[in-house]
């Protein structure tokens, strides 16, 4: 049900953008990309599932797309406190990939601290400097 509602919102948003911009072909191409992402997320039954390294879908979204990150958080209620097997939380990973939007989002929305260490004592600041 969540996916169907998200799909309807996505279609409405893309349709509005196409009408506003007059660039229907470009907007529809973008729509197809977003729809593919949604299909991939549907196949990932539980967004809290850890991969071999202990990464969640949110860890990967820190690197790939702010839209996917927000979709996972807002629509699928993914855990903002997700931590990998090595103690790397979302703030660490966002700092590593230099995603300032997600760093700010985590600080403001979740109160994630920039000084929280991973399992070997590295903070997100260490990751940002690498």
pLDDT tens digits along 82-94? 888 889 999 999 9
Q: What is the pLDDT of residue 3?
A: 46
% residues pLDDT > 70 (the chain): 65
Residues 95-118, mean pLDDT to the nearest whole number: 87
- Residue 93 in any domain: the answer is yes
Q: Is residue 10 domain-shared with residue 58, that is, in the same domain?
A: no
- Residue 73 in any domain: the answer is no
- Residue 74 in any domain: the answer is no
Domain that holds residue 123: 50-66+79-130
Please provide the DSSP assignment of 15-78 as one string. HHHHHHHS-HHHHHHHHHHHHHHHHHHHHSS-TT---TTS--HHHHHHHH-HHHHHHHHHTT--
Q: Is residue 54 domain-shared with residue 13, that is, in the same domain?
A: no
- Residue 3 in any domain: the answer is yes
- Residue 59 in any domain: the answer is yes
Q: Total domain count for the chain? A: 2
3-state secondary structure of 89: strand
Q: What is the pLDDT of residue 12?
A: 60
Q: What is the pLDDT of residue 6?
A: 54
Q: What's the pTM value of the predicted model, to 2 decimals?
A: 0.64
Q: Is residue 54 domain-shared with residue 39, that is, in the same domain?
A: no
Q: What is the pLDDT of residue 111?
A: 80
- pLDDT tens per residue, range 31-82: 566 666 666 656 555 777 777 778 888 888 888 778 888 888 887 788 888 8
Q: Is residue 90 domain-shared with residue 119, that is, in the same domain?
A: yes
């Amino acid at each position: 049900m969540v996916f169907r509602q998200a799909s309807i919102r996505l279609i409405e948003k893309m349709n509005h953008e196409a009408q506003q911009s007059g660039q229907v072909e470009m907007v529809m191409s973008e729509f197809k990309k977003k729809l593919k992402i949604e299909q991939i997320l549907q196949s990932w039954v539980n967004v809290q599932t850890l991969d071999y390294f202990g990464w969640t879908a949110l860890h990967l979204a820190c690197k790939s797309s702010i839209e996917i990150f927000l979709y996972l958080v807002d629509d699928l209620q993914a855990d903002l406190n997700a931590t990998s097997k090595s103690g790397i939380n979302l703030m660490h990973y966002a700092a590593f990939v230099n995603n300032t939007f997600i760093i700010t989002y985590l600080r403001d929305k979740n109160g994630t601290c920039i000084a929280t260490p991973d399992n070997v004592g590295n903070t997100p600041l260490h990751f940002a400097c690498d």
